[in-house]
Structures are given as structure tokens and as C-alpha cells.
Amino acid sequence: MIRITDLHHRLGGAPVLNDIDLTIPHGGLTALIGPNGAGKSTLLSLIARLRPIQRGRISVGPHEIGKVADRDLARVLAVMPQSTEVSARLRLAELVGFGRYPWHRGRPGAEDRAQVDRALERFSLTDLRDRFLDEVSGGQKQRAFAAMAYAQDTDYLLLDEPLNNLDIAAARDLMRLMRGLADEDGKTVVVVLHDINYATAFADRLVVMKEGRIAAQGAPSEVVTDTLLAEVFGTTARVAEVEGRPLVIV
């Protein structure tokens, strides 16, 4: 599990996160939602040690962020970057191959190659493996980055707004794959989402943030209500119940 205690963070003098205490249980898919500027991405980047922790503690499983060696953490925790711009010209299979780097440190073996093939297969990229990244669609590119994180073979997977700029088919595909990673492989998936409806459809747990604090957390049907939308998001959208789960009518 991911345990966050007494976490504070400031960016350019302004407080972004205030006294966060949060436990994300092992297994399942947890979605971080909240209005723009609530601190979701900052929180995720602190868990992923993309920024140094200023105050407080975060531990992922037995490892405390900032104390454990980077290469050891890379075998436990994978991050899918928000921006998928890469300056190098890479083929899809090469990109996915980088996911094995924490394990082989530059000398891939037969096991690593097999792992890459499995990742490509699972994310339906086998036919595209020799294409360059700039030759595939946005959805396929996003899938390739997800496949890279999968090839990293970690217990924990963090994704920062993976659905940005994806059409509905690509977005649903990606979320279904993430659901599969949680259900079949027992991974702990934490994802920052913008669209509440995607969060309620695919996540087991929601963590709602507002102004650098945790506003609510729990199962989607408990958390997403008219009052929450009014108080946290400041909008008067109605919540209906469709097929047993809450759906925000936009």
C-alpha cells in the first residue's frame, strides 16, 4: 500500500498541498479527481519521486520515498509520464524495451525480450512494433507508454492524466487495460483523471481533492453526489444512477 503522512508542499511560495494523510490500499484501481489546481498531479509526482518531498513522508510498500535507491524503487513503482513527447526517434518495441531497463541496466537478456513481447501482445501493439513513435496515432502512442510501464513489471503503477487528447474509443481501451492490470495481475494502479464519469466507471476507489486537501474518499457510489459536485467542483450538475453506478449529467 501507499501511505502518505503529514505531507505539505509549496510551489513558488504558494501552498499546493496541505497536511495530506492518505492511505491507498494494495490492489485495485484508485482515481485521484478534483478541480484544476487541486494538487492531484503534484501529489502523484511526489509519490513518483519526480519532485523532492519538502515536508512529510510517503512510503510505497516497505520503501520510503527519498530513502530508497532510485533503481530499487524503479522495480516497485512505474510511472507513465503525462507528456509523451520524446526527442529521440524510437520504434514502439524499443520504447517498450526501456521498461526493462531497471532490471537489466543496459544488457537485455532473453527474459527481458520475452517480457517486452508479452507487453506488446497485451496492449495489442505487436503489429506496430517496428513503427516509429511519430508514425502512430495518439491512442497507440499512449498505449505504447502504458506497455512500457507494464513491461517494467512493478507492483505499483502511477498514471498522470493518461486520457488527455484521446478519443472515446482509445480512452475506454486504455482504462479497460488498466482495469485488467488491477484485476488479473493484482497491481495497484493510481491514476489522475479529469473526467469524473471515467473515474466512476473504472475505479474501485476515488480520492477527491480540493485546494490541496483531501475532500472525500471512498467507493464511487458513496462519493459522487450532487453535494460533492457543488462543494468541491462548484458546479450544479446532477448525478443520476445508471446501471448501479453514479453518472454525472453534464
> Contact region for other proteins (CB under 8 A) — 88-96, 193-201, 229-237, 241-249?
88-96
Site string for other proteins, 30-59 (x = CB under 8 A): ------------------xxx---------
The sign of the torsion formed by the CA atoms of 17, 21, 24, 26 equals: positive
Q: Which is nearer to other proteins, 66 or 218 (CB)?
A: 66
CB of 79 to other proteins, least distance (A): 4
Total residues in contact with other proteins, by rule CB under 8 A: 35
Answer for which of 41, 42, 152, 200 binds other proteins (CB under 8 A) is 152
Of the pair 35, 61, the CB lying nearest other proteins is at 61
Residue 75 contacts other proteins per CB under 8 A: yes
Question: Does 83 help bind other proteins (rule: CB under 8 A)?
Answer: yes
Residue type, 118: R
Residue of 6, 21, 72, 226 that binds other proteins (CB under 8 A): 72
Sole window of 2-10, 141-149, 203-211, 217-225 interacting with other proteins (rule: CB under 8 A): 141-149
Does 212 help bind other proteins (rule: CB under 8 A)? no
CB-neighbour burial class of residue 34 (10 A; exposed 0-12, middle 13-18, buried 19+): buried
At what angle are helices 110-122 and 138-151 packed, to 10 degrees?
140
Is the CB of 42 or the CB of 152 nearer to other proteins?
A: 152
Q: Please tell me whether residue 99 binds other proteins under the rule CB under 8 A.
A: yes
Q: What is the smallest separation between the CB atom of 231 and other proteins, expressed in angstroms?
A: 32
Question: What are residue 170's phi and psi, to 5 degrees?
Answer: -65, -40
Residue 39: which of 66, 10, 64 has the closest Cα? 10
Contact pick of 12, 13, 62, 87 for other proteins (by CB under 8 A) = 87
User: Could you tell me if 2 and 188 are in contact, meaning their C-beta atoms sit under 8 angstroms apart?
Assistant: yes
Binding site for other proteins (CB under 8 A): 48-50, 69-75, 77-83, 85-90, 94-95, 98-99, 101-102, 105-106, 145, 148-149, 152
